[in-house]
Amino acid sequence: MSSTSSSEGTITETICIETIKPTTPTFISRSQLPSRSNNKGGSLWSVLKKSIGKDLTRVTVPLTFNEPLSFLQRLAEYMEYVSLIKQALKAKDPVKRMEFIAAFALSTLASNSSRLTKPFNPLLCETYELSKPELGFEFIAEQVSHHPPISAFYARGSPGSNDEDFEFYGNIEPRIKFWGRSLEDTPIANFTLVLKPFNEKYTWQGISCSVHNLYMGKMYISLNGTMNIKCVGSDLQTEIKFAGASKSGPDTVLYGEIIQGKNAIRVLYGNWTEYIASTSISMYLDMKHQWKKEYRNVEKSGKNDLITLFPDSSMIWRVHSKPPGNKDYYNMTYFALMLNEKLPDDSVKLPSTDARFRPDIRLMEEGEMDAASTEKERLEEKQRAKAKSSKPRLPPQWFSDDKNGSFIFNGNYWKRDFSKSDDIY
């Protein structure tokens, strides 16, 4: 362990630089796709140059800029670090619970850091289920609106176990614009997490994300703005600030305060792509300049196993290790690699609308790019024809419009009567 002495006041503590390797996921089903990425590259700017300032959710991009996952499957990646919810359920201190919940909300962003390919736009009525008793959760998502594109999801702990003590749900409407050198997604996204044993409800909204250097240079992602996580009905909340982009590239530093009433009582800090830790307010104020200096030194070294910590810190979250050769598979994590995996014949029954059955995504995963492109065009044309048809559109099956702008899970999916599922593929 390396350290540096503080020179402010009478502080004798040191900033710690520790080797803490990324953790190995507790469940791995596959470490690669059937076929390596076959994207031919090309300039995204050349595709989008006529769309400056426009809403890109209505713009079709070539298959070469996609990854073989639906956006609904990408939403399921929110559950990769469900263990943080389980840790919150075990914590008796409400401040400690807030630390874990804030880390969970932030961990959902980590898989985006090197994923510069685009998921497939979901078709109207498309669904995706991910049930993982090994990890203690069930997840269901549905595309509830096409224009504007709105996805709704619901997750709960696995029934019949100690994990069933939470619910996590939300709605996401991407709002993506192209500004010449960058893309900006400022989504309308609302999330709610319920911890049943404590009768606590946590809420937060999505954060703005930008992709830079579309015209030249190495593309990278930055997060911008402030995320506010509230424990409804209490005086606890967390405000997380993201540094955005610097002149030389992404600034992945995050800083947050846990606030009780009007007073900050704890600091969250770290790197949103690598780790999150917490420290006391007094320690942060006394040593923030030394920490920032050592953080930048470690950042320049390129050694991802090194973590820069305040002396009295608690490590809350560490990113999972990446699969070997994941750059050949769209930079997917172990968790992402299992999302489109074919299920055994004797597995739970799925509706015909499940994203695993999308032929264009399946063909792309298997390396059949030309056939995948043809199928993608066919499905998009089929959806357009349905939109023009005089037949009334079916309402969402598994989520109900609450008339206040949100779609709420109605519970019917678990009955597994899929006889009325629409023919979308």
Length of the chain: 425
Residue 11 in any domain: the answer is: no
User: Mean pLDDT across the chain, nearest whole number?
Assistant: 90
- Name the percent of the chain lying above pLDDT 90: 69
Residue 341 in any domain: the answer is: yes
**Average pLDDT, stretch 303-324?**
93
Instruction: Assess whether pLDDT exceeds 60 at residue 47.
Output: yes
CB atoms within 10 A of CB 327: 13
Question: What is d(CA 135, CA 79) in angstroms, rounded to the nearest whole number?
Answer: 9
Angle at 307 between CA 303 and CA 312, to 5 degrees: 165
DSSP 419: T
The backbone torsions φ and ψ at residue 129, rounded to the nearest 5 degrees and listed phi first, read -115, 135
Residue 329 in any domain: the answer is: yes
Angle at 376 between CA 207 and CA 419, to 5 degrees: 85
State which H helix or E strand residue 245 sits in. Answer: strand 245-246
Question: What is d(CA 318, CA 274) in angstroms, rounded to the nearest whole number?
Answer: 6
Per the structure, how many domains does the chain have? 1
pLDDT at 1 (0 to 100): 40
DSSP 182: -
Q: 122-144 pLDDT, tens per residue? A: 999 999 999 999 999 999 999 99
Within 8 A by CB and 6+ apart from 149, the residues are 57, 121, 122, 143, 173, 174
Instruction: Assess whether pLDDT exceeds 60 at residue 60.
Output: yes
3-state SS, one letter per residue, for 25-68: CCCCCCCCCCCCCCCCCCCHHHHHHHHECCEHHHCCCCHHHEEE
**Average pLDDT, stretch 137-164?**
91
Question: What is d(CA 239, CA 263) in angstroms, rounded to the nearest whole number?
Answer: 12
Residue 13 in any domain: the answer is: no
Question: Model confidence at 12, in pLDDT bands (50, 70, 90)?
Answer: very low
pLDDT at 6 (0 to 100): 35
Question: Model confidence at 11, in pLDDT bands (50, 70, 90)?
Answer: very low
pLDDT at 163 (0 to 100): 65
Instruction: Assess whether pLDDT exceeds 60 at residue 209.
Output: yes
Q: 346-396 pLDDT, tens per residue? A: 677 899 999 999 999 999 999 999 999 999 999 999 999 988 886 777 889
pLDDT at 50 (0 to 100): 66
The CATH number linked to 67 is 2.40.160.120
The backbone torsions φ and ψ at residue 356, rounded to the nearest 5 degrees and listed phi first, read -60, -25
pLDDT at 283 (0 to 100): 96
SS3 263: strand
Regarding predicted confidence, which is higher, 327 or 387? 327
Instruction: Assess whether pLDDT exceeds 70 at residue 268.
Output: yes
Residue 82 in any domain: the answer is: yes
Regarding predicted confidence, which is higher, 51 or 296? 296
Question: Model confidence at 318, in pLDDT bands (50, 70, 90)?
Answer: very high
Residue 10 in any domain: the answer is: no
Q: Would you say 256 and 242 are in contact if contact means Cβ atoms under 8 Å apart?
A: no
Structural domain of 383: 18-415
Residue 370 in any domain: the answer is: yes
pLDDT at 395 (0 to 100): 87
The interaxial angle of helices 83-90 and 94-107, nearest 10 deg, is: 170
Residue 276 in any domain: the answer is: yes
CA 156, distance to chain mean position in Å, is 17
Question: Model confidence at 5, in pLDDT bands (50, 70, 90)?
Answer: very low
Question: What is d(CA 183, CA 186) in angstroms, rounded to the nearest whole number?
Answer: 10
Question: Model confidence at 7, in pLDDT bands (50, 70, 90)?
Answer: very low
Extract the tokens encoding 363: 């063909």
